[in-house]
């Protein structure tokens, strides 16, 4: 008697493949990278091997702890401020259309200006402390959050809005009962993007000066031609960015149980 594979079994196999295939591909790249460096095709001072990078990372962990903490403080502070500002501005633009008409084009134009060009100005205006780095993080994180939330607020079911209005619901009740719950998926999408940008923004700010931070440490390692340390710091940055991404994903999983995959 023939056995048929159920739809659930097919989905399970596909999900396993989507996790296994990228892992295998990355391992192949790392093995090839290690092999190319070991046989001398590429000099180690130009491209350190994965093994050297991992050993260097373990070696420098004690000395970069203070830099990791500094970068995290700047990233989380800027990310938190960006969330608050984004919620306020998105609600205002959704509620008062003239504000959206005035500000929305400026938001789009602001994304055409490279953040690396603005960062030196912040350093000159606010000094070499943490404030200019936090401002850079705010600017980097602000746009994806506010645009995602605004799109979510504007994509609410019109029939539901009319129903609440016909029942005499106030603007606050409409926002509380209909708009915000309907836009929270878009909101978390923007948060996930901004979370990964936050570490990058802090590092960009640190490149231009300061006393501590992963960006400053990376810059010093580059000037000393210690590329193994540069790659080791890149790994730390990737880990921090992915950790923040996973934290936001976990928050979405906890606060939005209806979006969980069965």
pLDDT digits over 185-217, tens only? Answer: 888 888 998 998 899 888 988 887 778 888 888
Dihedral pair phi/psi, residue 141, rounded to 5°: -85, -25
Q: Is the pLDDT of residue 10 over 60?
A: no
Please, what is the end-to-end C-alpha distance for the chain in angstroms?
30
Cα 63 off chain centre by:
25
* Cα(213)–Cα(204) distance, integer angstroms: 10
- 174 token code pair: 């409409």
Alpha carbon distance 255, 252 (integer Å)? 5
Q: How far apart are CA 190 and CA 201, in angstroms?
A: 16
Closest CA relative to residue 149, chosen from 104, 87, 82, 96: 87
Smallest CA-to-CA distance from 100 within 27, 171, 50, 149 is with 149
Residue 137 scores a pLDDT above 60? yes
Residue 71: name the closest of 201, 195, 214 by CA: 214
For residue 165, give the 3-state DSSP assignment: helix
Task: Confirm if 226 and 57 have CB atoms less than 8 A apart.
Answer: no
Cβ proximity of 230 and 221 under 8 Å: yes
- Judge contact between 200 and 159, C-beta under 8 A: no
Whole-number Å distance between alpha carbons of 130 and 152: 33
What is the third-level CATH fold of 46-259?
A: MetI-like fold (1.10.3720)
Query: Phi, psi at residue 41, to the nearest 5°?
Result: -65, -35
Residue 219 confidence (pLDDT) above 70: yes
Query: Does residue 14 register a pLDDT over 60?
Result: no
pLDDT at position 11 is: 54
Q: What percent of the chain has pLDDT above 90?
A: 15
């Amino acid at each position: 008697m023939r056995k048929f594979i159920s739809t659930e079994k097919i989905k399970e196999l596909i999900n396993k493949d989507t996790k296994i295939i990228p892992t295998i591909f990355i391992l192949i790249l790392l093995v090839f990278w290690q092999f190319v460096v070991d046989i001398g095709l590429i000099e180690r001072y130009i491209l350190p091997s994965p093994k050297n990078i991992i050993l260097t990372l373990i070696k420098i962990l004690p000395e970069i702890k203070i830099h990791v903490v500094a970068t995290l403080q700047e990233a989380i502070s800027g990310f938190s401020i960006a969330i608050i500002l984004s919620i306020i501005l998105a609600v205002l633009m959704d509620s008062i259309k003239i504000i959206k008409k005035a500000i929305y084009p400026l938001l789009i134009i602001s994304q055409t200006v490279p953040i690396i060009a603005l960062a030196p100005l912040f350093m000159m205006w606010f000094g070499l402390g943490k404030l200019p780095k936090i401002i850079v993080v705010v600017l980097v994180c602000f746009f994806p959050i506010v645009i995602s939330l605004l799109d979510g607020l504007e994509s609410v079911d019109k029939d539901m809005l009319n129903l609440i209005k016909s029942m005499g619901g106030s603007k606050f009740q409409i926002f509380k009962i209909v708009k915000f719950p309907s836009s929270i998926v878009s909101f978390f999408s923007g948060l996930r993007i901004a979370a990964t940008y936050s570490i990058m923004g802090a590092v960009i700010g640190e490149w231009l000066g300061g006393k501590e931070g992963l960006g400053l440490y990376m810059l010093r390692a580059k000037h000393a031609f210690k590329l193994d340390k540069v790659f080791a710091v890149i790994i730390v940055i990737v880990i921090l960015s992915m950790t923040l991404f996973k934290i936001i994903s976990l928050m979405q999983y906890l606060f939005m149980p209806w979006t969980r995959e069965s």
